[in-house]
Amino acid sequence: MEQARNMSKHALSVVAVVFERDAAPVAQDKVLGLLGLSCCPDQRCRWFEETLLTIQLADPVPAEIVAAVGAVPGVRRALHLPRGRRLHHLAAGAPRSPVRLGPAAAIGAGGATLIAGPCSVESEAQVCEIALAVKDAGASALRGGAFKPRTSPYDFGGLGDKGLEYLARAREKSGLPIVTEALDTSHLDAVAQVADMVQIGSRNMHNSTLLFRAGAHPLGKPVLLKRAFSASIDELLEAAEYFLLGRFAAGHAEPGIVLCERGVRLFDDLLRFSLDISAFPVLRARTHLPIVADPSHPAGAREFVTPLALAAVAAGADGLLVEVAGDPDQSWCDGAQCLPFDSFRDLARKAQIVARAAREAPPSG
């Protein structure tokens, strides 16, 4: 039933065309003419940032027409997505797309990639201490919020640009790449300059402008996109599609996006959120994009973080985003769910054992 609903949703084919910024209006007429259209039907055409035009069509478009569209003067590139196919879809037999995280790490290339650090950056000393400790325990990247989404407007909203500076210092000292959140298009530039991977948080999963601009950003930084806590798996994938269209518009070759399951809101109030374990195998079947788990925000309490993390890795997570601090009870934000260093070390060791066991090939014959 769900499958049928998704198929009907993608029942039209799409042609996506990237125009030069100063393309003459005649370029658009030529493109439409090649596609057999006399004008741009409003309900089927959509412009993104005045350069990318997407057109939904009832019929598939032959490859030579797509090539001719791409060759129109004033057009940079064109792409055809046949009916039932979107940029996030996993094609039969095609490989998954690992995403680089700094010069040495990748997510989705095997094992469990660990990203760890405080909920929010509080001082240079705090992030530097945590960076060195999580690296020593096996983390491949440091997380930490400089711009924090908060439910209450009176709660600590992050150190902003100062926090980004401290993260850069922590990278210098530890060599770990940085994952940090962009809350808004207005500071996307500042975040993209410092981050090795830009986090787009659950509250922004529906912010299509932020997603598209993050994809089209000239620095080409990869993104970690968190599932909104009341979004379906399919809505998460459609959100990723906005980012992937941005990448196409900017000419970035690699998909550069990692999905993150961080818990959805169910009826149980003993946990902060309910980690949707089924999301991992379902996403692995649907998309070529890597998937990580955030076990900290659903747990809401330290004691539940490791079991949730290991369950996620067993279910197919390519990595984990974990909140860790030297003295969690003193954290300015989310201390109750934050692991101390020794617990993170234990989690890191067990996660690799579970990843190996879960990905082991079944005995042949």
- Angle, CA 343 vertex, CA 342 and CA 349 arms, to 5°: 90
At its nearest, how many Å lie between ligand PEP and the CB of residue 220? 22
Helix 279-286 to helix 305-315 angle (10° resolution) is 30
Half-sphere exposure of 275 (CA within 13 A, CB side): 27
Q: Which residues bind Mn ion (CB under 5 A)?
A: 119, 334
Residue 149 interacts, among ligand PEP, Mn ion, none and using kind-specific CB cut-offs from 5 to 8 Å, with ligand PEP
At its nearest, how many Å lie between ligand PEP and the CB of residue 294? 6
Residue 145 interacts, among ligand PEP, Mn ion, none and using kind-specific CB cut-offs from 5 to 8 Å, with ligand PEP
Could you give the CA distance from residue 258 to residue 11 in angstroms, rounded to a whole number?
26
272 is a contact residue toward ligand PEP (CB under 6 A): no
Piece in contact with ligand PEP (CB under 6 A), picked from 57-65, 157-165, 187-195, 201-209: 201-209
Piece in contact with ligand PEP (CB under 6 A), picked from 58-66, 89-97, 158-166, 198-206: 198-206
Residue 213 interacts, among Mn ion, ligand PEP, none and using kind-specific CB cut-offs from 5 to 8 Å, with none
At its nearest, how many Å lie between Mn ion and the CB of residue 333? 6
Residue 202 interacts, among Mn ion, ligand PEP, none and using kind-specific CB cut-offs from 5 to 8 Å, with ligand PEP
Residue 108 interacts, among ligand PEP, Mn ion, none and using kind-specific CB cut-offs from 5 to 8 Å, with none
Total number of residues that touch ligand PEP (CB under 6 A): 10
Provide the mask over 78-117, with x wherever binding to ligand PEP is found by CB under 6 A and - wherever it is not: ----------------------------------------
User: Judged by CB under 6 A, which of 28, 126, 180, 202 binds ligand PEP?
Assistant: 202
At its nearest, how many Å lie between Mn ion and the CB of residue 216? 28
Residue 272 interacts, among ligand PEP, Mn ion, none and using kind-specific CB cut-offs from 5 to 8 Å, with none
Residue 145 or 215 having the CB closest to ligand PEP:
145
At its nearest, how many Å lie between ligand PEP and the CB of residue 71? 43
- Among residue numbers 301 through 360, which ones bind ligand PEP (CB under 6 A)? none
144 is a contact residue toward ligand PEP (CB under 6 A): no
119 is a contact residue toward ligand PEP (CB under 6 A): yes
